[in-house]
Amino acid sequence: MNEAVTKRFLLYFRLMLLVWILIANAIIHVTGLEYSWLIFLSNIMMFTLEGDVKDRFVTVELGGLVGLILTVIALLSITALTPVLGGFFGFLIPLAVVLFILIILHPYAPKVLNNVGFAYLTVACIDTTALATHLPQFFITFIVGSILFNGVCVLLMKPAKALAVKSVQKENV
């Protein structure tokens, strides 16, 4: 894409994205869907990563899922180890294992062990009671919601590009 088309594409895509975010928020509001942050965090992460949009999509979906799984593993481990090792080591050992997996093993599996997983681990731990109480809802909301929401975002790129090309061509005639 040349510079004029790129600028126009970004304008059209951002406008489409704005409308889509408003539509999604309206649906979430009307339906009373809880934990919509699971959906929108993945979208923020997708647009802050670099590289091909399809690779980013996969990285965000897999990374977020792994982050949530590691959060559950950490919480279960903390619950099991705290009575045996005390609060300090019962907390630090599971945390160290989960962080080791995300940070040290990242170079070996960057699509699944990444900053997205770290973000989901961090945010999901803000309210561990809600996570434990509504675990299936967390996973369903993340998997279905983020794939649907981010999938539409990816699909919007094609018409935004076509509109940009068409509008620049009209100007040059």
Please give the chain's pLDDT, 173 residues, in tens. 799 999 999 999 999 999 999 999 999 999 999 999 999 999 999 999 999 999 999 999 999 999 999 999 999 999 999 999 999 999 999 999 999 999 999 999 999 999 999 999 999 999 999 999 999 999 999 999 999 999 999 999 999 999 999 999 998 87
d(CA 105, CA 109): 7
**In the chain, what are the domain boundaries?**
3-171
d(CA 24, CA 152): 10
Token pair 């803000």: residue = 126
pLDDT at 49: 93
- CA-based torsion, 101, 106, 107, 111: positive or negative: positive
d(CA 36, CA 14): 21
pLDDT at 155: 96
pLDDT at 144: 97
pLDDT at 171: 87
Predicted TM-score (pTM) of the model is 0.91
d(CA 62, CA 45): 12
